[in-house]
């Protein structure tokens, strides 16, 4: 973006709109995690993950630096996804003597939120709408479906998660 005497109102509206969309998308996913009584990550955390991803991508795209291209945005997104992996790792817990695994869905939700925030930074609206819609579908439909599967297999949630982690490709 070039420096000028008058602020570019259209740029400001667009940039703030993208930030709002990224934050709101993260908060929607965080609301579901809070609704499910997941104390690890919720509305605020996922809202901030979406916001941070959007800021990082917009900072690169609108930096006004020479030679900023799609490669630079791609590298920014790689950095975001790597960093968010560490946050997601913090959401995964092994507790008890049986080393029960908890938080895998929340860790995946953090990753999805980061990618949606990056898409908002790039204004790829179909990916944002589709991503939030499909993530909510998975979160809302997935939990009852997993319960039914566990009931049929007579496994506890922790046993199912442990089997998922131990499964070899």
Domain map (residue ranges) of the chain: 9-166
Asked whether the whole model's pTM tops 0.85, one would answer: no
First to last CA, the chain: 47
| Residue that wins the pLDDT comparison between 129 and 45 | 129
Q: Are 84 and 54 in contact (CB under 8 A)?
A: no
Give per-residue pLDDT as tens, 130-147: 999 999 999 889 888 888
**Other Cβ atoms closer than 10 A to 130:** 13
Give per-residue pLDDT as tens, 110-122: 889 999 999 999 8
């Amino acid at each position: 973006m070039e420096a000028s005497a008058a602020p570019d109102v259209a740029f400001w509206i667009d940039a703030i709109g993208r930030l709002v969309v990224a934050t709101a998308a993260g908060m929607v996913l965080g609301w579901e995690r809070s609704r499910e009584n997941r104390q690890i990550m919720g509305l605020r955390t996922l809202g901030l993950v979406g916001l941070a991803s959007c800021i990082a991508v917009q900072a690169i795209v609108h930096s006004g630096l020479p030679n900023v291209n799609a490669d630079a945005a791609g590298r920014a997104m790689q950095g975001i996804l790597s960093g968010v992996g560490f946050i997601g790792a913090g959401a995964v817990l092994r507790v008890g003597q049986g080393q029960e695994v908890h938080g895998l869905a929340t860790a995946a939700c953090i990753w999805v939120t980061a990618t949606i925030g990056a898409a908002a930074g790039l204004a790829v609206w179909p990916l944002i709408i589709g991503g939030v819609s499909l993530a909510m579908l998975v979160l809302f439909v997935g939990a009852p479906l997993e319960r039914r599967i566990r009931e049929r297999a007579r496994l506890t949630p922790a046993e199912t998660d442990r089997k998922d982690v131990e499964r070899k490709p």
